[in-house]
Structure 1
Amino acid sequence: MMEPLAVHHLAVVVHDLERAEAFYGGLLGLPVVRRWTDEAGAPRSVWLGLGGGAFLAVERAGAEGPTRVDAAPGFHCVALAIGKDARERWRERLAAAGAHVERESAYTLYVRDPEGNLVGLSHYPA
């Protein structure tokens, strides 16, 4: 038997690397693990820690292209763990930063990153 697979990293491609880092690193508080530059020395990617050794790779887009709509096939969202008792503090923090909670369930607040990608802050099953 093979051991169960764990998340190593997730990657999101963005047009504005600086704004994305401000959202994921600044607003959500994910720590910067590593920065990458391209051949010209310009910022290309920033890796942000997710805990347990996993990271979120925020990559600068190299081309224009369509964006995925929520109802289309593909990955739907990235959901990050929060404590149940922290839910209202997160709601207030997001609102203060102008990040509108788009919808919510009994366990998750859903917000969009600056590129329109869906991000959940979830306390399931707590």
Structure 2
Amino acid sequence: MFEALHHVALVVTDLERAKRFYGEVLGLELLPDRPAFPFPGAWYAIGEDQLHLIVHEGAKTLRGATTIDSRDGHFAVRVRDAAEVKARLDAAGWPCDDRPNSVTGWHQLFAADPDGNVIEFNSKKT
């Protein structure tokens, strides 16, 4: 019945700032075919899946903090090498919580976007 997770939608407060993080810092591909919704947003490709950014001033999902808390709500992206993502974040001066020897059995790396949305990047241990 269920085929796949199609997309994750995140609320952002400043679309251009969020696009700089997801597009420039992380290097995600901006999808050009976002429908003409009556609100600002952007769609990015993550493999076969998507990340949707939505500007919604009445949102109740914003954390109100940019601290990295891996136990708070987050989404996870499987990456080829978490160390490569860490290098991108480090080059941009972006804070992260690196766990190369996580008890999960894979390399975990956590970061928060400019609005405090927590993202886990994980890969097989190298």
TM-score interval, normalised by the smaller of the two chains: 0.7 to 0.9
* Distance (Å, rounded) in 2 between the aligned partners of 1:38 and 1:10: 17
Determine whether 1:87 maps to 2:82. yes
Fraction of identical pairs, as percent: 30
CA contact (8 A) 2:11 2:61 kept: no
SS at match of 1:26: helix
Task: Please tell me the residue identity of whatever aligns with 1:96.
Answer: A
TM-score, with structure 1 as normaliser: 0.74
RMSD (Å), alpha carbons: 2.6
Task: Please tell me the residue identity of whatever aligns with 2:93.
Answer: G
Task: Please tell me the residue identity of whatever aligns with 1:122.
Answer: N
CA contact (8 A) 1:111 1:118 kept: yes
The residue that corresponds to 1:118 in the other structure is: 118
SS at match of 2:40: strand
Number of residue pairs the alignment of both structures matches: 115
Question: RCO (CA 8 Å, sep 6+): is it higher in 1 or 2?
Answer: 2
TM-score, with structure 2 as normaliser: 0.74
What are structure 2's unaligned runs of at least 5 residues? Answer: 102-106
Q: 2:91 aligns with which of 96, 102, 109?
A: 96
How much does 1:88 deviate? 2.8
What are structure 1's unaligned runs of at least 5 residues? Answer: none
CA contact (8 A) 2:11 2:59 kept: no
